[in-house]
């Protein structure tokens, strides 16, 4: 039986609330409650390969400790943008979502998230102070009230040492992603923010500056790169880099360790020009149906045993201090890669390099330029680029111009 980091006082309060009908009435306590969770793919210990099934353990905890029957309905997304589109459309309602920092900032400003009651999340005390209050990367009022860190990290470059020359002068720089010697062996992000970020960091541009001229400089750099690119990918990167069918890719540090486990020819570095530092955090949407149960889930994910199980499954950096300090965790990570702890925790995070939420005008501009890149690319994401993309470009331009016009007119109202 795993340890439960829930205070007796909180447990007593929850049991009292159960009888009062906070979750369900005493007469209806056998009714099954469904908790809807929306997370990144492959981002929780799921019971495979002899790992802990974190969601199943939460269901057991609810039954054994809270006296309620809970079913976790768990679904995944591939990007912040796709998550935002689904949540904002109202087509599906979730109780817990796990976006990244800049998207959390956007959702807070758009009043899409419910404030958290930290008294219901006692395990918050184990979250590193670096991720609390003014120390968080994203700029929104009382950020800690709306989110609890789940994992964090930085983007770096993965390369295959059996293909990339050891003395290549571009190793250590974003320039490696533009090295024509590896034409057809380079993978680029298939999401607009990260893809533009690679070019902006390479050029020394501010990733949060919304000056259109600077974004077009980044677009030009991506257009130069496209003839060297094998594909724009997200999860497809795992198979391509592990199998050796691609040689160079920008991706997240934790995922590098997963790939390295299957291919020890892979190496990793953080580019000297700077890179994005990110936090993925647990939030409760404003329209969530089970907010009390959502608080329980978030608290459970911050408990030592579950946080450690998730960290060992994903290889991402945990914000839970008891996990990072645990010798068993440190030894397990060292078995995966001798420098794993240094890769995850030993590198300084520069908040000034992290993505912040773009304004509506900035987002529209980014979308227009992204569609331009895809329309002019012969590879895209493996799908024929035709009239649909052209229409997408035109639609994005119209939206962009309308936003600019509205913004301009307000200056003279």
pLDDT in tens, 326-356: 999 999 999 999 999 999 999 877 878 899 9
Q: What's the pLDDT at 139? A: 61
Q: What's the pLDDT at 136? A: 66
* pLDDT tens digits, 357-392: 899 999 999 999 999 999 985 544 444 344 444 555
- Name the token pair of 299: 């608290």
* pLDDT tens digits, 16-37: 433 344 443 333 456 999 999 9
Q: Is the pLDDT of residue 86 over 80?
A: yes
Distance CA 77, CA 242 (A): 22
- Tokens 């939030």 belong to 283
Which pairs from 41-48 meet CB under 8 Å and 24+ separation? 41/76, 41/77, 41/78, 41/235, 42/76, 42/235, 42/314, 43/76, 43/98, 43/151, 43/280, 43/314, 43/316, 44/74, 44/310, 44/313, 44/314, 45/306, 45/309, 45/310, 45/312, 45/313, 45/314, 46/313
CA distance from start to end of the chain = 65
User: What DSSP character marks residue 262?
Assistant: H
Q: What share of the chain is helix, strand, coil (3-state, %, to 5)?
A: 50, 15, 35
Q: Is the pLDDT of residue 397 over 80?
A: no
Residue 128: its H or E element? none
CATH number of 8-147+283-345: 3.40.190.10
* pLDDT tens digits, 102-117: 999 999 999 999 999 9
Distance CA 187, CA 135 (A): 33
Beta strand spans in 78-218 (E): 96-97, 148-160, 186-189
Complete edge-to-edge strand list for the sheet that includes strand 69-77: 69-77, 32-40, 96-97
Distance CA 375, CA 352 (A): 32
Query: Structure pTM?
Result: 0.81
- Name the token pair of 52: 């802990």
Distance CA 201, CA 207 (A): 7
For domain 154-277, give the fold: D-Maltodextrin-Binding Protein; domain 2 (3.40.190)
- For the residues 124-135, what does the mean pLDDT come to? 86
């Amino acid at each position: 039986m795993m340890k439960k980091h829930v205070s007796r006082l909180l447990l007593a309060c929850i049991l009292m609330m159960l009888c009062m009908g906070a979750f369900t009435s005493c007469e209806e306590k056998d009714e099954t409650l469904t908790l809807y969770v929306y997370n990144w793919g492959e981002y929780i210990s799921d019971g495979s390969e002899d790992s802990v099934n974190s969601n199943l353990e939460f269901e057991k905890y609810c039954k054994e400790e809270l006296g309620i029957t809970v079913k976790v309905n768990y679904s995944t997304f591939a990007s912040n943008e796709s998550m935002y589109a689904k949540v904002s459309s109202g087509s599906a309602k979730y109780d817990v979502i796990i976006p990244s920092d800049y998207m959390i900032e956007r959702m807070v400003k758009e009043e899409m998230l419910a404030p958290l009651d930290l008294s219901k999340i006692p395990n918050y005390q184990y979250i590193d102070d670096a991720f609390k209050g003014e120390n968080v990367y994203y700029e929104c009022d009382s950020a800690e009230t709306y989110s609890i860190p789940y994992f964090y990290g930085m983007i770096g470059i993965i390369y295959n040492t059996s293909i990339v020359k050891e003395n290549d002068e571009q190793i250590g720089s974003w320039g490696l992603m533009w090295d024509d010697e590896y034409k057809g062996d380079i993978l680029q992000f298939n999401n607009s923010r990260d893809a533009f970020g690679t070019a902006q960091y390479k050029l020394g541009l501010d990733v949060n500056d919304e000056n259109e001229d600077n974004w077009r400089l980044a677009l030009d750099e991506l257009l130069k790169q496209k003839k060297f690119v094998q594909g724009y990918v997200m999860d497809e990167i795992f198979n391509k880099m592990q199998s050796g069918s691609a040689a160079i890719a920008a991706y997240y540090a934790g995922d590098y360790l997963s790939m390295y486990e299957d291919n020890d020819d892979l190496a990793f570095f953080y580019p000297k020009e700077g890179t994005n530092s990110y936090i993925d955090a647990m939030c409760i949407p404003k329209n969530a149906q089970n907010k009390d149960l959502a608080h329980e889930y978030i608290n459970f994910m911050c408990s030592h045993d579950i946080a450690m199980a998730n960290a060992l499954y994903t290889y991402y950096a945990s914000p839970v201090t008891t996990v990072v300090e645990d010798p068993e965790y440190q030894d397990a990570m060292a078995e995966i890669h001798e420098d794993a702890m240094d890769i995850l925790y030993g590198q300084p995070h520069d908040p000034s390099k992290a993505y912040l939420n773009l304004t509506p005008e900035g987002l529209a501009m980014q979308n227009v330029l992204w569609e331009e890149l895809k329309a002019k690319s012969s590879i895209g994401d493996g799908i024929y680029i035709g009239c649909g993309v052209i229409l997408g470009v035109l639609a994005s331009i119209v939206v962009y111009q309308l936003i600019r016009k509205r913004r301009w007119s307000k200056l003279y109202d």
